[in-house]
Amino acid sequence: MQKLETGKTAKINFTKSYKNKKQLEKILLFSVAVILATFWLLPLLWIVSTAFKPESDVIDPIVRWIPKRVTLDNFRIIFSDKENAPILRWFFNSLFIALSHTILILLFDSLAAFAYARLKFKYKETIYWTMMATMMIPGVINFIPAYVIVDKLGWIDTPAAMIFPGLGGVFGVFLLRQFFEGIPKDLDEAALIDGASYFTIYFRIILPLSKPALMTLAVFTFMGNWNDFLWPILVTNDAANRTLPAGLAIFQGTYIHNYGILMAGALISAVPPILLFLLGQKYFVKGIALSGLKE
């Protein structure tokens, strides 16, 4: 009887110790997440704070996170200076280019991923892994041949120069193929028996079930294109044809000492990617979690 009670006591103590260990792990992970989030948020909060400060408060040696005087003058200046900083033109250039690029990436990469995940053809794996190997090549290496091609096509100073060259990336193919392979193939077989074609399976079965992965790729693609700086600088000569990040480089040269105006421009540039992530956060997290899983 005493041995039984001793065994129960030991089991209870082990259970408590295990629960305490799990709680400690959760606390440590939460603490690390809070620290990382703080490091990410502090620069953003400083941009917001500086954007609404008058210049006299910006250069004040005393650091104030909350402005003593809130002003919209910085935004009025950048929206009114259409000659040196056509920021609305840059904004809509970026929006059109990023949206067009994202839609085309989703179309082409999903078609390619469907072929690699569902179809059978000769040398499929060899071709696929050869494509994946190109992900190890730095993108800047392609700048010179890509620029020559864009120049020969007459796309310099046009949105096409910033929409089409990046469509050959294979990251989206990899991401979507991993997700597509997690969808049961029994659905395909049932559809084929009912007389459906592969395009019908792609549009009516695979795509509706792949919203998380598609949203994840859309977020990555949109943010990558929206934040691109070097390539738009190379392929645009007229300032009016530039995207917002590339335009802000000129903008910085114009107002090199006016940090309030610079932060106002940076804040405008940061709003669309943040909104996109917040709107698609549920699908984004789910897509990342499921893309590495297979049936």
Alpha-carbon gap, residue 152 to 95, rounded angstroms: 26
- Shared domain for 6 and 114, answered yes or no, is no
- Shared domain for 117 and 183, answered yes or no, is yes
8 A C-beta contact, residue 66 and residue 216: no
- Alpha helix stretches (DSSP H) within 2-53: 2-51
Confidence tier at 64 by pLDDT (50, 70, 90): confident
8 A C-beta contact, residue 101 and residue 166: yes
Bigger pLDDT: 54 or 221?
221
8 A C-beta contact, residue 245 and residue 174: no
pLDDT at 71 over 70: yes
Q: Is this model's pTM higher than 0.85 or not?
A: no
**Does some domain include residue 65?**
no
Alpha-carbon gap, residue 63 to 74, rounded angstroms: 19
First-to-last alpha carbon distance for the chain, in angstroms, is 49
- Shared domain for 38 and 165, answered yes or no, is no
- Shared domain for 25 and 164, answered yes or no, is no
**Does some domain include residue 104?**
yes
Confidence tier at 295 by pLDDT (50, 70, 90): very low
Please give the mean pLDDT across all residues of the chain.
81
Confidence tier at 293 by pLDDT (50, 70, 90): very low
Per residue in 95-107, pLDDT (tens digit) is 999 999 999 999 9
The phi and psi torsions of 86 (rounded to 5 degrees) equal -75, 75
**Does some domain include residue 208?**
yes
**Does some domain include residue 63?**
no
- Shared domain for 143 and 217, answered yes or no, is yes
Q: Kindly report the number of other CB atoms within 10 A of residue 49's CB atom.
A: 18
Per residue in 146-172, pLDDT (tens digit) is 999 999 999 999 999 999 988 888 888
- Shared domain for 83 and 193, answered yes or no, is yes
- Shared domain for 104 and 185, answered yes or no, is yes
pLDDT of residue 149: 92
- Shared domain for 8 and 125, answered yes or no, is no
**Does some domain include residue 59?**
no
DSSP state of 140: G
Where residue 188 sits, what CATH number does that domain have? 1.10.3720.10
pLDDT of residue 104: 94
pLDDT of residue 103: 94
- Shared domain for 103 and 133, answered yes or no, is yes
- Shared domain for 154 and 46, answered yes or no, is no
**Does some domain include residue 61?**
no
pLDDT of residue 49: 85
Sequence length of the chain is: 295
pLDDT of residue 290: 53
Q: Which domain holds residue 29?
A: 2-51
Task: Give the highest mean pLDDT range of 2-11, 76-85, 197-206.
Answer: 197-206
Number of domains in the chain: 2
Structure tokens belonging to residue 60: 């004040």
Residues whose CB is less than 8 angstroms from the CB of residue 130 and which lie 6 or more positions away in sequence, other chains included: none
Q: Kindly report the number of other CB atoms within 10 A of residue 78's CB atom.
A: 25
Confidence tier at 188 by pLDDT (50, 70, 90): confident
- Shared domain for 35 and 153, answered yes or no, is no
**Does some domain include residue 161?**
yes
**Does some domain include residue 114?**
yes
Alpha-carbon gap, residue 188 to 194, rounded angstroms: 10
Instruction: Give the H or E element holding residue 185.
Output: none
Task: Give the highest mean pLDDT range of 70-79, 133-142, 160-169.
Answer: 160-169
8 A C-beta contact, residue 276 and residue 223: yes
- Shared domain for 135 and 37, answered yes or no, is no
